Each structure stands twice: as structure tokens, then as C-alpha cells.
Amino acid sequence: MEPAVIPREAIRFAGYAGLFGIPDASRDIIRPGAFAATLAARTQPLPLLWQHRPDQPIGVVESIAEDCRGLRVVARIDRITSRAAAMLLAKAVNGLSFGYRARAARYSDEGRELIAIDLFEVSLVTHPLQFGARVHLIT
């Protein structure tokens, strides 16, 4: 696979789209390994969307993996002149989220535990459902 050509005016960032073991505002709790199968099966980069809007792609996810903390992403916004880029650079938006379908879950007193997840997209969002899912580095 050839390395991606990064547009000269792209903005790259890193952060976590989801954190393990921490209930989100809907009481969903992601368990380690929940993304393993969907990440292993991916052959194309995930789209990066604005606010989960499929009609507003803003870039691509360059790398995505589970680590001990959660779902870590490195992504890029392809147009530095876009509203998304301006808001990210101004620190007006720094939330991350992901679009998914639960493949396996169980319920506990804590909430719904997500055991296996089909991942469709990552989004830059104003209000992430999981408070700590944020951009941590912008380059």
C-alpha cells in the first residue's frame, strides 16, 4: 500500500474517539477489544465527518487503533479553509466521536457494555457523548 499523499494545506490531529471503561452520557461503556474485529477487517480508511453528517466529509482517519486507554485516532482535515479546520484551530470544537453498530453488548448496573462494535466513521463534534473523547494534538 502506498503512503497517502497529504494535501499541503491539511491539518492533522490526534486524540481519542472513545475511552474504555468510562460510561458516556447514554451510559454506554466500551470494553477493551470491542473494536478489534472491525479494525482488523478494514481495507479502506475511515471517513472523518463533521458532526456525524455523512453529507459533510471533512477528511480521513489516517490511523486508528485500540491502546490501553481507548480508541486512538490520527486524522486529517483536508481543507485548511474549511469551517471545521477554523473551529478546530480556534479550539471552538475539539470533541471526537464515532458512528457504529453494536455487534455484542451486555447490560449491567453501570449501563450497556459494548463488547463488539462495527465502526463506520469518526467525527469531529461539538459535544461528544463521552466527555473525555477529545483532540489532544494538532499539527
Residue 83 in 3-state DSSP? helix
Decide if pLDDT at 135 tops 90. Answer: yes
The predicted structure's pLDDT at residue 2: 52
Instruction: Render pLDDT for 43-85 as a digit per residue (tens, 0 to 9).
Output: 999 999 999 999 999 999 999 999 999 999 999 999 999 999 9
CATH topology of domain 11-138: Serine Protease, Human Cytomegalovirus Protease; Chain A (3.20.16)
Instruction: Render pLDDT for 15-51 as a digit per residue (tens, 0 to 9).
Output: 999 999 999 999 999 999 999 999 999 999 999 999 9
Give the count of beta carbons closer than 10 Å to the beta carbon of residue 127.
10
Total number of residues shown for the chain: 139
Q: Please tell me the pTM assigned to this model.
A: 0.91
- Work out whether the CA dihedral 54, 127, 130, 84 comes out positive or negative: positive
- Work out whether the CA dihedral 108, 124, 137, 92 comes out positive or negative: negative
